[in-house]
Amino acid sequence: MTIVEIAKQFQVDREPLAAEPYGCGHINDTYCVTAKDKRYILQRINNRVFPNVAGLMDNIQRVTDMLREQVVAAGGDPDRECLQIIPTKDGKSYLEHEGSYYRMYVFVERTLSLQTVEDPVHFYYSAVAFGRFQKQLAQFPADTLCEVIPNFHNTASRYEAFEAAVARDAMGRAAEVQKEIEFVRARKADTTKIVDLLASGELPLRVTHNDTKLNNVLLDDVTGKPMAVIDLDTVMPGSSLYDFGDSIRFGTNPCAEDEKDLSKVFCQVNLFEEFTKGYLEACGDSLTAKEKELLPFGGYLMTLECGIRFLADYLDGDTYFKIHYPEQNLDRCHTQFKLAADIMDKMDELCAIVKKYDK
Ligand code: ADP
Ligand code: GN1
Ligand code: MG
């Protein structure tokens, strides 16, 4: 079946006419399906990354149901302010066809999904969106969520997986990336910090998004105000430091994740400040003192972790993240390591900013 034919298997209110690849995600295949006067989002779910599609879609169905209730209760517009699944003709949340899995969403029109921050206010609003998202799900029964990727942000187990990839050296690439391998090993002690504090109860476990890249929030294309938080595949129990940190990783760097000119890669402190302001305004009253203290460290650790994952995938032969040219994962790893080091160098300044907005 073509993508248009797949789209016709869902409860669409207009006949799908055309489909084209859409967006810049590294995991799923996303298509924009057009009909007369209407568009839809259709995604082929990456079931190598998410083997339990039924569990994943059950999570998303229940999370979007709760988000919708909250948006309605707050007097918002549920058609624009939360993601909405379009069921299949037989009432399921996804379609299975010849070993592939598809889902469909309402297309949230008149929005921006940004790859880099063009106007600082956009970053501020993305922080409001992710902070609000966490609050909206505060009452969600976390233990009923399926852990779609176990240990997703467990940086200590990401470190172990990286060492296993070095040992396997499946593509014979380890020799050429010795400097990068040493960069990771020198920071091994950092990788256990958040997981240890979660295990000891010094940091609370929350329902978090876990993939808070700027392009995973849709902003109104006129006002910049936050509309729907999207890409809910990784909503799972986690730490607020993961959500804060991953946004800092992606949004404070002025370049793309695969920028080759590392002199352009750094943490823009003014953008860190914008994000901190928005995040603390939206959910600061529910964060503990320990969480607030460690927010900048979360930015550092999520950046280091992402670099470790790109490097491990490069060593394994690029089996996880989509690549568009051979050394892309290595380029991505370089930007993350440069940025992680820069965030660490600026740590005192960043901690002072958190204190400034901690009301
Ligand atoms: P991935 O997991 O591969 O990153 P996403 O769910 O983030 O996939 O979708 C990829 C891109 O498609 C997003 O960055 C956004 O630009 C666009 N997109 C996804 N869902 C919607 C939607 N409901 N309305 C409008 N655009 C969307
Ligand atoms: C992936 O799905 P996407 O492109 O938003 C990845 C994130 C990484 C990110 C790096 C399920 O996010 O964890 O931080 O790439 N998602 C998954 O850009 O692994
Ligand atoms: Mg995405």
CATH number of 120-357: 3.90.1200.10
pLDDT digit string (tens) for 138-164? 999 988 999 999 999 999 999 999 999
φ, ψ of residue 329 in degrees (nearest 5) = -65, -30
Sorted by where each begins, the domain ranges of the chain are 3-109, 120-357
| Ligand 1, residues at Cβ distance < 6 Å | 22-23, 25, 27-28, 30, 41, 83, 105, 107-108, 113, 215-216, 218, 230-231, 233
CA distances from 339 to 87, 254, 263 (A): 41, 10, 10
Supply the mean pLDDT for the chain: 97
| Alpha-carbon gap, residue 225 to 349, rounded angstroms | 28
Share above pLDDT 90 across residues of the chain, in percent, rounded to a whole number: 98
| Residue 98 pLDDT grade (very low, low, confident, very high; cuts 50, 70, 90) | very high
The predicted structure's pLDDT at residue 265: 98
CA-closest residue to ligand 2 atom 17: 27
Residues measured by CB to lie within 5 Å of ligand 3, the ion: 25, 216, 231
Q: Which atom of ligand 1 is nearest to 231's Cα?
A: 6
pLDDT digit string (tens) for 212-239? 999 999 999 999 999 999 999 999 999 9
pLDDT digit string (tens) for 168-182? 999 999 999 999 999
Q: Which CATH architecture has domain 3-109?
A: 2-Layer Sandwich (3.30)
Determine if the pTM surpasses 0.75.
yes
CA distances from 225 to 42, 130, 132 (A): 25, 12, 12
The predicted structure's pLDDT at residue 255: 96
Cα dihedral across residues 63, 56, 295, 337: positive or negative? negative
| Alpha-carbon gap, residue 34 to 41, rounded angstroms | 9
Same fold, 3-109 and 120-357: no
End-to-end CA distance of the chain: 56
| Residue 281 pLDDT grade (very low, low, confident, very high; cuts 50, 70, 90) | very high
Q: Which atom of ligand 1 is nearest to 232's Cα?
A: 6
Average pLDDT over residues 57-85: 96
Total length of the chain: 359
CA-closest residue to ligand 2 atom 5: 25
pLDDT of 359 higher than 90: no
